[in-house]
Structure 1
Amino acid sequence: MKIAKIEDLHCDAGWRDFSFLKITTDDGLVGWSEYNEGYGSAGLTAVIRRMAQGLIGQDPRPVERIMSTIYAITRQAPGGMNQQAMAAIENALIDIKAKALGIPVCELFGGPVRDRLPLYWSHCGSYRFRNAEVMGVEPVRSLDDLVKLGRHVKERGFKALKTNIFRFDLDPPNMYQPGFGRSPGGPELNADGAVLAAISDGLAAFRQGAGPDMGILLDTNFNFKTEGYIKVARACEPYNLFWLEIDSYDPEGLRLIRDRASMPIASCESLFGRRQFRPYFENRSIDVSIIDVPWNGLAESLKIASMAEAYEINCAPHNFYGHMSTLMSAHLCAAMPNFRIMEIDIDDVPWKDDLVTHPPVIQNGELIVPTRPGWGADINEEAVRAHPPKNPHP
């Protein structure tokens, strides 16, 4: 078996594009992976194309050997888009190998520990400020809308939801994202009284609607510095958070936050590889380690999870992409013993299901781990072509 062709496909997904890597072998097997050019990674497709060009004619099945070679080639520029490109290639190769053996991907890594994965409804309310029309849902305009949405999540059978910081005092109301340069508050990133009040009001609304048993997670991204995160943690105390999610490149500072917070701390979704995760484990900076499979690759993600296990830390995937990413992340969650909960975006464009041959199956707030070979689905190329991307890739 030899790699015969490597292609990238892209489609419109409302407020962003979805991107897929397709590796085809000379005997007709196809491996798929999903990657993302947003999130600070513009130009990733060009890196993937350059990195993959030397793989034509190689046997795709010795995945560890191939990836070790690519890692050596990129050793002087680790992480970043090089790692994301490596992950896209690794994930597609893993799909091929599992399909060649006629088994689900998780069987390559010891088999599933579990066949049902508890989910949390991610970005709950977040996309409804600007994208409600394209999703065909009611927009969020007030705290009352958050109460109704919390009630809706509970009625759908979900046991947990994750939300962001919403500012209803802005014109128009929207998410608070100074850490990404998308709203006032940067670059200083201070937690002032208005922001803390907005956090408290939003959490109170979700708690009212979803009830006392709903797990509520708050994602604060890179929106504060260490001092501000400590203030945020104190503001969240009345609402019994499932976890407070923080992005920080300072493992010792994050440990300080964790020491002063009354709720579990989750972090690390923006890290690459075991070397970047290690100081967070050694400093006991987190209660839950978040791992991005499209960024790290499934094999590397499982190595990170294994290292976390030695520090008694459970893991969760970073998964706010399309269905192919959800299936990739599901196999991580199925295979790693130290699993906490799985992220999924429920609010999305109406054609999201059409983009894969077998959309994820969700029952009572849990994802059923697919048992078909590979990831459990392929990309529906006709559906992808029916929704041309906003940003063409010549």
Structure 2
Amino acid sequence: MPTKAIISDVKTLSCSNSWRNYNFLKITTEDGIVGWSEFDEYFGSPGVGAAINQIAPRMIGKSAMLHEHIREDLRNVTRPGSGGVVGQALGAIENALLDIKAKALDVPCHVLLGGKVRDRIRVYWSHCVSYRTRTQHFSPGITDIEGVKQIAREVGEKGFSALKTNIFRYDAEDKIEPWSPGFGRPYETGRNVERKTLEGLRRHLEVMRAEAGPDIDMLLDLNFNAKTDGYLKILREIDDLDLFWVELDTLDPEALAYIRSQSRHPIASCETLIGLQQFLPFFRAQAVDVAIIDTPWNGVWQSMKIAAAAEAYETNVACHNFYGHLCTMMNAHFCAAVPNLAIMETDIDRIGWDAEIFTHLPEFQDGYLILPDRPGWGTEPIEAALADHPPVPGAGMWQRTEASKLSV
């Protein structure tokens, strides 16, 4: 007789990732099936774990096989505070329930999503240069143009066919500095794009193209680091360069549609949206060429609905994936089952103990992630290994030292 997968325990765990923390949800059933998901509290989202723990008792005694019923029940009782941290908590719960259901049925999660339409998923090397500027965490560290050249060559040498980088500025000695006022580095609330920023970004992209070669696709992520006029300045500056896409964030679909109409490059966006209702205005406005979906935030089941809506508007999707290996595998099952996929994000630069804290690591061949057929997501955190790396206190973005102090 098939298991009823009655939920008996819900708990959250975390461990250090050197410069931030990994966060996990573990849901256990009465018959011993354990479902895992990974969530994030670093990227502007303090308190996701607290939200999960507050609503967890409502799941006890219910069947994980009825994951849509559970999510809708939790959505009803949190509706006045929907989205944000609450939405991310529901996403984490949904993803752990999917892991349980797949394991109970002894199938990979992609089977629950309609089955795979591909078993090899093209990936791009994300945060290329950006992570290695955190020289105390990643090696070899990057502080100047020579490090930029080295990593650009490394992308092709390691078999990858695409990379994504960010905004950097160069000084007279070719030292580099990241530019991200949208995240408070530097503190500049107008997010104005100055000539020095335009010159630095253009040089950065030209250096990377020269070293990576003509066969590597290059993606650029502008994040929330400008407003409409600034994004247009950047697009004009790099109009003649060969980019796979320009990624940027704005919460105004009409503004983004206008930016897209002025861009020679495809526009990708939407990675911070939660729920189909937030995506629909961007689809209706024809604001994006590629809609980026954060499946840990939204839940993979809900993300499939968003992807289906995108398909109705002739729009492809990608995933937001800069977390740990469990998130990578959650995203991989989503990407394997979605017909309208553009490409998958992944971080290749990792800290030393990433390989120690998961049962299985992603497998990459010739720039593609190979989809596993193990039950569930195909990897799990190792609890004993998590305990060896206790979480870092104050690891969220909100714990950063303020870049500018005002006099009073």
Fold in common (TM above 0.5)? yes
Which residue number corresponds to residue 161 of structure 2?
159
User: Is 1:66 paired with 2:70?
Assistant: yes
Of the structure 1 ranges 333-342 and 230-239, higher mean CA displacement relative to structure 2 is found in: 230-239
User: Is 1:294 paired with 2:296?
Assistant: yes
Q: Deviations over 1:347-392 (max 9, x none)?
A: 1211112111011111111101110000011111111111100028
SS state of the match for residue 134, structure 1? coil
Q: Distance in 2 between matches of 1:47 and 1:88?
A: 11
SS state of the match for residue 34, structure 1? strand
CA RMSD of aligned residues (A): 1.5
Q: Distance in 1 between matches of 2:363 and 2:86?
A: 33
Show the 5 A alignment for 1:238-317. 238-317=240-319
Deviation at 1:133, TM superposition (A): 3.8
Deviation at 1:170, TM superposition (A): 10
Of the structure 1 ranges 169-178 and 7-16, higher mean CA displacement relative to structure 2 is found in: 169-178
User: Is 1:22 paired with 2:26?
Assistant: yes
What code does the residue aligned with 1:227 have? Answer: D
Change (3 A) 1:170 1:349: farther
Change (3 A) 1:226 1:392: closer
What code does the residue aligned with 1:84 have? Answer: Q
Of the structure 1 ranges 140-149 and 115-124, higher mean CA displacement relative to structure 2 is found in: 140-149
Which residue number corresponds to residue 184 of structure 2?
181
Q: Distance in 2 between matches of 1:214 and 1:239?
A: 13
Which residue number corresponds to residue 113 of structure 1?
117
User: Is 1:386 paired with 2:388?
Assistant: yes
What code does the residue aligned with 1:177 have? Answer: S
The TM-score, its normalising length taken from structure 2, stands at 0.93
Which residue number corresponds to residue 404 of structure 2?
none
Q: Distance in 2 between matches of 1:231 and 1:167?
A: 16
Which residue number corresponds to residue 344 of structure 2?
342
SS state of the match for residue 237, structure 1? coil
Asked if the contact 2:23/2:39 (under 8 Å) is kept, the reply is yes
SS state of the match for residue 24, structure 2? strand
User: Is 1:218 paired with 2:212?
Assistant: no
Which residue number corresponds to residue 89 of structure 1?
93
Which residue number corresponds to residue 43 of structure 2?
39
Q: Distance in 1 between matches of 2:25 and 2:63?
A: 17
Asked if the contact 2:245/2:267 (under 8 Å) is kept, the reply is yes
Deviation at 1:56, TM superposition (A): 1.3
**Structure 1 spans left out of the alignment, 5+ residues:** none
Asked if the contact 1:144/1:205 (under 8 Å) is kept, the reply is no
Q: Deviations over 1:189-240 (max 9, x none)?
A: 1111000011101101110111011110110000000011011111222321
What code does the residue aligned with 2:338 have? Answer: M
Which residue number corresponds to residue 100 of structure 1?
104
Q: Deviations over 1:255-285 (max 9, x none)?
A: 1110001000000000011100001000000
Deviation at 1:338, TM superposition (A): 0.2
The TM-score, its normalising length taken from structure 1, stands at 0.97
Moved over 6 A (4+): none
Show the 5 A alignment for 1:365-380. 365-380=367-382
Asked if the contact 2:145/2:176 (under 8 Å) is kept, the reply is no
Asked if the contact 1:143/1:201 (under 8 Å) is kept, the reply is no
**Structure 2 spans left out of the alignment, 5+ residues:** 396-408
Deviation at 1:68, TM superposition (A): 1.0
Asked if the contact 1:314/1:338 (under 8 Å) is kept, the reply is yes
Asked if the contact 1:309/1:338 (under 8 Å) is kept, the reply is yes
Which residue number corresponds to residue 8 of structure 1?
12
What code does the residue aligned with 2:66 have? Answer: P
Change (3 A) 1:200 1:30: same
What code does the residue aligned with 2:184 have? Answer: G
Decide which of 77, 80, 97 is 1:76's aligned counterpart. Answer: 80
Q: Deviations over 1:90-144 (max 9, x none)?
A: 00000000000000001012110000000000000101112x3433x22212223
Q: Distance in 1 between matches of 2:125 and 2:238?
A: 19
What code does the residue aligned with 2:298 have? Answer: N
Asked if the contact 1:74/1:82 (under 8 Å) is kept, the reply is yes
Identity across matched positions, percent? 48
Q: Distance in 2 between matches of 1:239 and 1:320?
A: 26
User: Is 1:351 paired with 2:350?
Assistant: no
Change (3 A) 1:109 1:209: same
Change (3 A) 1:98 1:168: same
Asked if the contact 2:170/2:176 (under 8 Å) is kept, the reply is yes
Asked if the contact 1:141/1:168 (under 8 Å) is kept, the reply is no
